[in-house]
Chain A
Amino acid sequence: MTNPIVEIRNLSKSYRRGDQIIPVLTDISLTIDEGDFLALMGPSGSGKSTLMNLIAGIDTPDSGSIRVAGVDIAALSESALAAWRANHIGFVFQFYNLMPVLTAYENVELPLLLTALSRRERKERAELVLDLVGLTDRMDHYPSQLSGGQQQRVAIARALVADPTMIVADEPTGDLDRVSAEEILALAERLNMELGKTIIMVTHDQRAAAKAHCIRHLDKGVLDEVVETMD
């Protein structure tokens, strides 16, 4: 498992606020191997989300390069990037971000609408991942009828359904109670161990980070050289 899936070189990103330029990430270089489970930690405002968004291709860097599975995503056009995300990235958000008007099943099916799969194939795939997250019996429930933990499991199923290259999760347990958080982390661990999914997870929680293979720390936009390896 030494095949690099993400290669970041000299990445910098800053935001403008009025005529002030605020550096958020400075000269970041980072390699993530295929099948890795990386936890990204750091104080609030250190740039964790920004870095993850850049890797996931929903934000663009000021300078530097990001290669994911051999593709320089900073060079892609907006629509090419959208198609790239559909194929390569599964998102899990802190606040789940499910479509409230769609059932659990329909939410999971949503990313498959971008594929050429038939209705029946979509059904098979969606039911498979719903089974994986243990929500087969809640398929027809709307998000408002599910607990936070259940919603996050639906979100994980949605992230998995199109079989992406990697899963990015920004504080996936940030809004959950201890028990639900444990369930989500156990699920993430299984995805990584059993299905070999590459996972990048931003977290504040030491216990959550402990599930990862390695932990990297960000502080004021600078990546700490120290690599904590868990196993």
Chain B
Amino acid sequence: MLGLFRLAVRNALRHKLRTGLTVLGIIVATMAFGLLRTVVDAWYAGADATSANRLVTRNAISLMFDLPLSYRNKIRQAEGVESVSYANWFGGIYIDEKNFFPQFAIDAASYLDLYPEYILSEEEKRAFMRDRQGAIAGRKLAEEYGWKVGDIIPIRGTIYAGNWSFVLRGIYRGADKKTDQTQFFFHWDNLNETVKKREPNRADKVGVYIVSIRDSGRAAEISKEIDAVFANSLAETLTETEKAFQLGFVAMTEAIVIAIEIVSIVIIGIIMAVMANTMAMSARERVREYATMKALGFGPRHLVVLIFAESLTISLSAALAGIALIFPAADFFASKVGTLFPVFNVSEQTLWMAFAAATCIGVVAAVFPAWRAATGSITKGLGSIG
């Protein structure tokens, strides 16, 4: 068998240019496949990083509408609720519109309790809590704009008009790779007091409540209970798990995700055709050699092994190179898109999928030539000019 593999490898290297181009094609395809899968993963990263013990309560009409601050205490009284925090989407512009990153006004003490995955040093946390003008930012965000603790961050309001400025009091890091480290948080009280002066009727309004529950198994029940409290009121609520809430955002852009997924599969399909063509060309040229081997006593099974070994040698060696290149490609991509994807990691699953795709390419490309070689007539094969 070892001798057959030697022959398979020699056959694979026979036409250097043809095999080289095919290998290059598979490398690029594998890399592109891995990159696209990583983009798809990044899209769902927000939902992946959620906790099953957190619910989000928002206005039932849409996220564009807010809820009264007074709901906080009522939500807290619901059975099974441990604590409640709240946040408002600020949506301001930092210097230029292209500098997008999420900004939230939060009830800092309760919010940071609910999100232990945002890790701040005690010192920075204290400094942030003490300073009404204070803000904290994720590590990636701070790196992107070169912020240091103590910097003044000017932000132009859009939803909340006017110019705002914050003092960076801390830089948080994520508890794990899934944690979003591109967010910007400041005090809700700061927002509310300023709004009270500028647009009094918009004061004491909350964007979303974040509800921590003791038993994640009862999430549906507790959500229903909370929404029942506010049924038939002026602002009805919709409570769902944090995951469902995050997936709601993804759903808006799902068509793009599906398009990317289709493209990633099409790439594999195309390279499969290229590889199949390479193998078919080789097999056609070797009809006489395969017939000779059969005459010498090699059975159909030997030829199947020989041809699959050649095809898989090409596809898997190229795929390994392509897989190795996914990492630099992903890094490059991530550096180009900045904080658009808060979490951009090549997952192990993506690597396995790329490997599986390459195996598929090798197998599919070998099926027809192997079948032809195994079943072809020896006498006709010997008569053919190779």
Contact = CB atoms under 8 A, between A and B. Distances in A.
Contacts of B10: 101-102
A162 B298 CA distance: 13
B295 A85 contact: yes
Contact of A99 (B7, B294, B302): B7
A79 B297 contact: no
Contacts of A78: 299-300
Given A83-B297, A110-B296, A111-B297, A101 B378 contact: no
Most buried by A among B288, B295, B296, B297: B297
B292 A93 contact: yes
A215 B295 CA distance: 25
A84 B379 CA distance: 17
Nearest to B292: A97
A166 B329 CA distance: 61
Contact of B382 (A83, A93, A99): A93
A113 B7 CA distance: 11
Contacts of A110: 3, 293, 296
Contacts of A97: 288-289, 292, 382
A94 to B, nearest CB: 10
Interface in B274-314: 288-289, 292-302
Contact of B296 (A86, A100, A106): A86
Interface string B1-39: 101101100110010000000000000000000000000
Interface residues of A, number: 30
A178 to B, nearest CB: 25
Nearest to B13: A101
A30 interface: no
Contacts of B301: 79
Given A58-B379, A101-B11, A102-B7, A91 B289 contact: no
A109 B4 CA distance: 11
Contacts of B302: 114
Interface in B359-386: 378-379, 382
A59 B3 contact: no
Interface of B is mostly: helix
Interface string B99-120: 0000000000000000000000
Contacts of B295: 56, 58, 85, 89, 91
A89 B292 CA distance: 12
Contact of A101 (B7, B297, B379, B382): B7
Contacts of A91: 292, 295-296
B303 to A, nearest CB: 10
Contacts of B299: 78-79, 82-83
Given A85-B295, A111-B297, A114-B298, A99 B378 contact: no
Given A58-B379, A97-B288, A97-B382, A82 B294 contact: yes
A59 B378 contact: yes
Nearest to A162: B297
Nearest to B8: A101
B297 A85 contact: yes
A29 interface: no
A56 B382 CA distance: 13
B297 A53 contact: no
Interface in A28-68: 49-50, 53, 56, 58-59
B18 to A, nearest CB: 14
A141 to B, nearest CB: 15
A79 B304 CA distance: 13
B375 to A, nearest CB: 9
Interface of A: 49-50, 53, 56, 58-59, 78-79, 82-87, 89, 91, 93, 97, 99-102, 106, 109-111, 113-114, 158, 162
16 contacts: A50-B379, A58-B294, A58-B379, A82-B294, A85-B295, A91-B292, A91-B295, A93-B382, A97-B382, A99-B7, A106-B6, A109-B3, A110-B3, A110-B296, A113-B1, A113-B4
Interface of B: 1, 3-4, 6-7, 10-11, 14, 288-289, 292-302, 378-379, 382
List the 8 closest pairs (A to B, CB-CB), nearest first: A86-B297, A101-B10, A82-B299, A113-B3, A58-B378, A97-B292, A85-B297, A79-B299
